[in-house]
A and B are shown apart, each in its own frame.
Chain A
Amino acid sequence: KAGVTQTPRYLIKTRGQQVTLSCSPISGHRSVSWYQQTPGQGLQFLFEYFSETQRNKGNFPGRFSGRQFSNSRSEMNVSTLELGDSALYLCASSSRASDYNEQFFGPGTRLTVL
């Protein structure tokens, strides 16, 4: 069974631009969660989608948004990029909604904002 895939793996943007990251969960998994990881703040929860509905949301500004499609693939969008948005963005999938005890993570997208 293929794992969680994320595209692109690396991305360089400039301040003020917007970016869209993509995540394909493990086949059969309907829950997709997004996390931001930085050296200073560690790994922080952004939001979770299940069956195309956002179920939970972390403490991030409205510039961070997401959506999920009927095939469970998910996208995350960050508008008006700031230097502090440089981070590793991780996507995780699970078979159950809000099943935070066992999530399968993708390799991440390394976003650099210049």
Chain B
Amino acid sequence: LAKTTQPISMDSYEGQEVNITCSHNNIATNDYITWYQQFPSQGPRFIIQGYKTKVTNEVASLFIPADRKSSTLSLPRVSLSDTAVYYCLVGDGGGSGGGADGLTFGKGTHLIIQP
């Protein structure tokens, strides 16, 4: 799995748009970019996944530039309940039996939303 780098922590305020950028310079051709959210004492929750350009769902948007060496998770109009750790993961997801390391989570970005 490609190594990822993301900020350790970020602060923002309710109602703001938050963008968390993840660097993955060694991303491979078959790799997808996936973001998870984790609240304290809970399991991570899948947020969004993409391969290139832009992906949007009801929770977030994911922007991926043409070179795919980075990606940005965008959370629109955050609320206090968005305070959590956000993990960026890059990998091909296996499927054919690969991914012996399972999901490799880095330290993630601890997002704190203030009123």
Contact = CB atoms under 8 A, between A and B. Distances in A.
B94 interface: yes
Contacts of B101: 45, 56, 58
B49 interface: yes
Interface in A66-80: none
**Chain A contact surface mostly:** strand
A35 B103 contact: yes
- Looking at chain B, what size class is its interface with the partner chain? 20 to 34
A96 B99 CA distance: 13
Given A100-B91, A101-B32, A33 B102 contact: yes
Given A98-B95, A101-B91, A56 B102 contact: yes
Interface in A25-62: 33, 35, 42-43, 45-48, 55-58
**Chain B contact surface mostly:** loop
A46 B104 CA distance: 11
Contact of A90 (B34, B43, B100): B43
A103 B45 CA distance: 8
A64 to B, nearest CB: 13
Contact of B97 (A92, A97, A103): A97
B29 interface: no
Given A98-B95, A99-B93, A105 B45 contact: yes
A96 B98 CA distance: 12
Interface string B67-107: 00000000000000000000001011111111111111111
